[in-house]
Amino acid sequence: MIEGHCHCGAVTLRIPIRPTSITDCNCSICRRLGALWAYYPTDEVTIEGLEATSPYVQGDRTLATYHCRTCGCTTHWTGLGQYAHRMGINARLFDPSVVENASIRNYDGASR
């Protein structure tokens, strides 16, 4: 398992394999967060310290984006409703060596 955490260490995320691709989205929230997203099925990710996070559910109510309540780092998002099987992990929480060989996909979420 590969482990990453928020700045203060209250939230730890574990993923089974290194991401081979990460997404840089320019939608209204992602561009403000500065996150790079690695996608996984929810049952493949372990999160310790979920109780230290707070969710934000935006307009279309398809995603809940979580951040650490102590240090403010965005940790992940989970899909809601029909999208509940999928989640995005903020790849910036991992050591840079974990994602150094991943390709970056620029996603134009602002136009959708």
For the chain, which residues make up each domain, given as ranges? 2-111
Helix, strand and coil content of the chain, in percent to the nearest 5, comes to 20, 45, 35
The SS3 assignment for 41 reads: strand
pLDDT tens-digit profile of 44-84? 999 999 999 999 998 888 999 999 999 999 999 999 999 89
- Mapped onto helix, strand or coil, the DSSP state of residue 64 is strand
Predicted pLDDT of residue 22: 97
Categorise residue 66: left if φ over 0, alpha if ψ from -120 to 50, beta otherwise: beta
Q: Which tens digits make up the pLDDT trace of 14-39? A: 999 999 999 999 999 999 999 999 99
Question: Domain 2-111 - what CATH class?
Answer: mainly beta
pLDDT at 6 over 90: yes
Beta bridge mates, 46: 14
**For 99, which DSSP code?**
H
